[in-house]
C-alpha cells in the first residue's frame, strides 16, 4: 500500500471553530456512570493548550449547541448542529472541529458529508474511547491531530480523525467510516481503506485507487448542497433491519404505522435468506413491503456485475433495490436525507443511487 506525504503551509494563523456536542470526549466519570457535563467539553481545550503539541498559530473559538451522549442523537439534534454550522461565517475560519460521541459518530459524519458536501473548509469530527480523565483516553490526541490536519492540509470536505489501537491517528473520509466495533472501540472503513495517517503533525495520504488525491480535494467544486438552510429539516422515517439465522419476518406489522422505507442489511457476501419458508424469507418480506407501499433497500453490495449467489439473484429478479459500493452507515444517512427532502420515489432513488455528494460510492470514484 503506497503512501504520499502531503503538506500545505501551516505558518500563518489558522482560525478554527470548535463545536461541542457532548459524547465521551466531553464527559466525566462520577457516581458509577459516565455522563456529559458542561465543564467536560472545555477541558479538552485546556488540555490542548497546555500540551506539547500546542500551536500558538492556531486560534480556537468554541460553541456548544448540544451536550448529549451520542447514543441519544436524533434528527432534531442534527438540525441544531446543521443550523450552528450554517449560521457561522465560514469565511472567518480555516476549519471546523466537531467533538462527538463515538457510538453514532459514523452516522453524523456521513450526514454532515452530504449536507456540507460544498463546504469550502474542512469539517473534522473527533471522539474519544474513554473520558478525558481516564489515562486510556485517546480524546486529546484525536483533537490535537484534528487541529494539525486542518492547520496543515486545508482540504475541503468532511473527515474523521480517530486513533486506533496501534496508536496511529487515522484519517477517514466522512462517508467512509463505519460504526465502532464492540469490545475494541475501533472504527472501521469499507475495504479497510482509510484516507491517511497523521504522523508528526502531517498527513500521510494512503495512495489507494479508491481515494481522491489531496489536490482533488483542495480544488473540488461540488454541486451545491441539496439541503437548504432555514427551509429543510431532517426527519425520522426509516426502519433498519439486520438479519441473523432464524430471523422471522412475520413479527413485522405495518398495519398501524409503516415506515417510509426499510433498509435491510445483508450478510458479508451480499446475501440474505430467500428460502421457501415465507416467515423466514426476505423475498416474502419484500412482497409484504410492496403491499404496504414501503420502499425496501438492501445494503451493502460490493458490485452487482460480479457473480452473485443464487439468493442475491433471486432478490434482484424480484425487483428489490440494492445499494452498491456504499456502507450501510452511509446508505442509512443518505436515505434519511432523501426522504426528508423528497416525496417522489423515483427522485429519491435517483438521489440515493446516482447522485454522488462526497465520495460515498467507495469503489467507483
| Cα distances (Å, whole numbers) of residue 113 to 207, 290, 348 | 21, 31, 18
* Model confidence pLDDT, tens digit, residues 173-183: 999 999 999 99
Is it the case that residue 30 has pLDDT exceeding 80? no
Q: What is the spatial distance between Cα 163 and Cα 158, in angstroms, rounded to a whole number?
A: 17
Cell of 324: 452498491
Q: What is residue 160's three-state secondary structure?
A: strand
In this prediction, residues 270-288 reach a mean pLDDT of: 92
* Model confidence pLDDT, tens digit, residues 320-331: 999 999 999 999
Is it the case that residue 4 has pLDDT exceeding 50? no
In this prediction, residues 308-329 reach a mean pLDDT of: 90
* Model confidence pLDDT, tens digit, residues 116-149: 999 999 999 999 999 988 999 999 999 999 999 9
Q: What is the spatial distance between Cα 306 and Cα 150, in angstroms, rounded to a whole number?
A: 39
Q: How is 231-299 classified by DSSP, letter by letter?
A: T------EEEE---TT--GGG---SS---SEEEEE--TTS-----S-GGG-HHHHHHHHHHTT-EEEEE
pLDDT given for residue 12 in this prediction: 83
Phi/psi of residue 331, nearest 5 degrees: -65, -45
Distance spanning both ends of the chain, measured CA to CA: 18
pLDDT given for residue 279 in this prediction: 94
In this prediction, residues 145-169 reach a mean pLDDT of: 96
* Model confidence pLDDT, tens digit, residues 35-86: 566 556 788 999 999 999 999 999 999 999 999 989 999 999 999 999 999 9
- Average pLDDT score over the chain: 91
In this prediction, residues 239-251 reach a mean pLDDT of: 96
Q: What is the spatial distance between Cα 308 and Cα 316, in angstroms, rounded to a whole number?
A: 10
* Model confidence pLDDT, tens digit, residues 178-206: 999 999 999 999 999 999 999 999 999 99
Q: What is the spatial distance between Cα 36 and Cα 30, in angstroms, rounded to a whole number?
A: 10
Range in 32-41, 296-305, 332-341, 349-358 with the lowest mean pLDDT: 32-41
Q: Residue 304 — pLDDT band, cuts 50, 70, 90?
A: confident
pLDDT given for residue 117 in this prediction: 97
In this prediction, residues 20-41 reach a mean pLDDT of: 67
Domain ranges of the chain: 2-219, 238-324
Q: How is 102-159 classified by DSSP, letter by letter?
A: STTHHHHHHHHHHHTTT-SSEEEEE--SS-TTSTT--HHHHHHHHHHHHHHH---EEE
Query: Which residues are identified as catalytic?
Result: 24
Instruction: Tell me whether residue 9 is exposed, middle or buried, using C-beta atoms within 10 angstroms of its C-beta: 0 to 12, 13 to 18, 19 or more.
Output: exposed
pLDDT given for residue 101 in this prediction: 93
Give Cα 120 distance to the centre of its chain.
Answer: 19
CATH number of 2-219: 3.40.50.1170
Is it the case that residue 88 has pLDDT exceeding 50? yes
Q: What is residue 311's three-state secondary structure?
A: helix
- Provide the whole-model pTM: 0.92
CB 205 within 8 A of CB 183: no
What is the percentage of the chain residues whose pLDDT exceeds 90? 79
Amino acid at each position: 500500500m503506497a503512501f504520499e506525504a502531503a503538506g500545505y503551509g501551516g505558518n500563518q494563523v489558522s482560525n478554527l471553530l470548535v463545536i461541542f456536542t457532548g459524547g465521551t470526549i466531553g464527559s466525566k466519570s462520577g457516581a458509577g456512570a459516565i455522563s456529559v457535563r458542561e465543564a467536560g467539553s472545555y477541558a479538552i481545550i485546556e488540555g490542548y493548550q497546555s500540551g506539547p503539541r500546542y500551536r500558538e498559530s492556531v486560534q480556537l473559538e468554541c460553541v456548544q449547541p448540544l451536550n448529549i451522549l451520542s447514543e441519544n442523537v436524533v434528527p432534531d439534534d442534527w438540525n441544531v448542529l446543521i443550523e450552528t454550522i450554517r449560521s457561522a461565517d465560514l469565511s472567518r475560519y480555516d476549519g471546523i472541529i466537531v467533538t462527538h460521541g463515538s457510538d453514532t459518530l459514523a452516522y453524523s459524519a456521513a450526514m454532515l458529508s452530504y449536507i456540507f458536501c460544498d463546504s469550502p473548509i474542512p469539517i473534522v469530527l473527533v471522539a474519544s474511547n474513554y473520558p478525558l480523565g481516564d489515562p486510556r483516553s485517546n480524546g486529546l490526541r484525536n483533537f490535537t491531530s484534528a487541529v494539525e490536519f486542518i492547520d496543515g492540509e486545508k482540504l475541503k470536505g468532511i473527515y474523521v480523525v480517530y486513533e486506533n489501537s496501534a496508536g496511529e491517528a487515522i484519517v477517514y473520509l466522512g462517508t467512509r467510516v463505519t460504526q465502532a466495533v464492540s469490545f475494541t472501540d475501533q472504527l472501521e472503513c469499507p475495504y479497510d481503506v482509510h484516507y491517511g495517517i497523521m504522523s508528526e503533525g502531517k498527513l500521510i495520504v494512503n495512495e489507494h485507487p479508491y481515494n481522491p488525491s489531496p489536490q482533488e480535494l483542495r480544488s473540488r467544486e461540488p454541486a451545491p448542497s441539496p439541503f437548504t438552510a432555514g427551509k429543510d429539516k431532517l426527519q425520522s422515517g426509516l426502519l433498519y433491519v439486520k438479519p441473523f439465522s432464524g430471523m422471522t419476518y412475520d413479527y413485522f406489522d405495518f398495519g398501524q404505522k409503516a415506515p417510509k422505507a426499510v433498509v435491510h442489511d445483508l450478510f458479508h457476501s451480499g446475501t440474505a435468506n430467500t428460502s421457501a419458508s415465507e416467515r423466514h424469507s426476505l423475498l416474502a418480506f419484500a412482497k409484504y413491503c410492496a403491499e404496504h407501499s414501503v420502499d425496501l433497500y438492501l445494503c451493502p453490495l460490493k458490485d452487482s456485475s460480479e457473480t452473485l449467489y443464487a439468493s442475491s439473484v433471486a432478490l434482484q429478479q424480484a425487483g428489490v433495490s440494492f445499494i452498491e459500493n456504499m456502507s450501510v452507515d452511509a446508505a442509512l444517512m443518505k436515505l434519511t436525507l432523501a426522504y426528508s427532502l423528497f416525496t417522489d420515489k423515483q427522485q429519491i432513488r435517483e438521489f440515493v443511487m446516482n447522485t454522488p455528494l462526497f465520495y460515498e460510492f467507495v469503489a467507483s470514484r
